[in-house]
Amino acid sequence: MEVKIGLLGCGTVGSGVIELVQKRQDMISRLTGLQPKITHVLVRDPQKPRQVSFIDEQLTTNADDILEDSEIRMVIETIGGIEPARSYILRALQAGKHVITANKDLIAEHGTEILETAEHAGVDVYYEAAVGGAIPLIRPLKESLTANEITDLKGIINGTTNYILSKMTETGADFADVLKEAQELGYAESNPASDVDGLDAGRKLAILASIAFHAKVTLDDVEVTGIRTITAADVAYAHELGAVIKLVAEGTDRDGNLTLQVRPTLVVKDHPLAHVSDAFNALYVRGDAAGDLMFFGRGAGSLPTASAIVGDMIEVLRNLRMDTALRVRQLLLPHKRVRRGQGEPARYYVRLAVNDQPGVFAQIAAIFGQAEVSMETVLQKRSRQNSAEIVIVTHEVGQEQVTKALNALSAVNDVQTIHNVMPVIGGAQ
| Residue 103 contacts residue 129 (beta carbons within 8 Å) | no
Is 153 a known ligand-binding residue? no
Q: Is 11 annotated as a binding residue?
A: yes
Q: How far is the CB of 363 from a copy of itself (least distance, A)?
A: 42
Contact status, residue 124 vs residue 98, Cβ threshold 8 Å: yes
For the CB of residue 134, give the shortest distance to a copy of itself in the complex, in Å: 4
> Residue 106 or residue 303: which is nearer to a copy of itself going by CB?
303
Q: Which residues contact 362 (CB under 8 A, 6 or more apart)?
A: none
What is the smallest separation between the CB atom of 80 and a copy of itself, expressed in angstroms? Answer: 20
The verdict on whether residue 104 carries a ligand-binding annotation is yes
Phi–psi pair at 101, nearest 5 degrees: -140, 150
Q: Which is nearer to a copy of itself, 200 or 315 (CB)?
A: 315
Of the candidates 204, 246, 336, 404, the residue annotated as catalytic is 204
Closest-CA residue to 129 (of 299, 316, 314, 315): 299
72-77 and 2-8: which strand pairing?
A: parallel
In contact, 281 and 308? CB cutoff 8 Å: no
| Helices (runs of H) and strands (runs of E) counted in the chain | 13, 17
The answer to whether residues 180 and 196 touch, using CB atoms and an 8 Å cutoff, is no
For residue 14, say whether it is annotated as part of any ligand binding site. yes
State the DSSP code for 395: -
Least distance (Å) between residue 282 CB and a copy of itself? 8
Provide, rounded to whole angstroms, the least separation between the CB of residue 246 and a copy of itself.
16
Which residue's CB is nearer to a copy of itself, number 329 or number 384? 329
> At how many degrees (to 10) do helices 232-240 and 159-171 cross?
70
Q: What is the C-alpha separation between 235 and 381, in angstroms, rounded?
A: 15
Q: How far apart are CA 96 and CA 294, in angstroms?
A: 36
Our CB check for a copy of itself shows the closer of 278 and 356 to be: 278
Give contact residues for a copy of itself (rule: CB under 8 A).
16, 20, 24, 27-28, 30-31, 128, 134-136, 139-140, 143-148, 272, 275, 287-298, 301, 303-304, 306-311, 313-315, 318, 322, 324, 327-329, 331
In angstroms, how far is CA 416 from the centroid of its own chain? Answer: 34
Which conformational region is residue 215 in: left (phi greater than 0), alpha (psi within -120 to 50 degrees), or beta? Answer: beta
Q: Is 167 a catalytic residue?
A: no
Residues facing 257 on adjacent strands: 254, 337
189 is known to lie in a ligand binding site = yes
- For the chain, the straight-line distance linking the first and the last C-alpha, in angstroms and rounded, comes to 60
Does 208 show up as a binding residue in the annotation?
no
Nearest approach in angstroms of CB 276 to a copy of itself is 10
| Cis bond before residue 334 (omega within 30° of 0) | no
Output 21 or 424, the one with its CB closest to a copy of itself.
Answer: 21
The annotation status of 260 as a binding-site residue, yes or no, is: no
> Of 12 and 403, which CB lies nearer to a copy of itself in the complex structure?
12
For a copy of itself, the closer CB: 3 or 402: 3
What does DSSP assign to residue 274? G
SS3 37: strand
Residue 316: which of 82, 96, 60 has the closest Cα? 96
Least distance to a copy of itself, CB of residue 111, Å: 18
Amino acid (1-letter code) at residue 22: Q
Q: Is 225 annotated as a binding residue?
A: no
Cα–Cα nearest to 325, from 157, 62, 93, 26: 93
Binding-site residues for L-homoserine, in ranges, read 189
Binding-site residues for NADP(+), in ranges, read 8-15
Binding-site residues for NADPH, in ranges, read 104
Binding-site residues, in ranges, read 8-15, 104, 189
Q: Which residues are catalytic?
A: 204
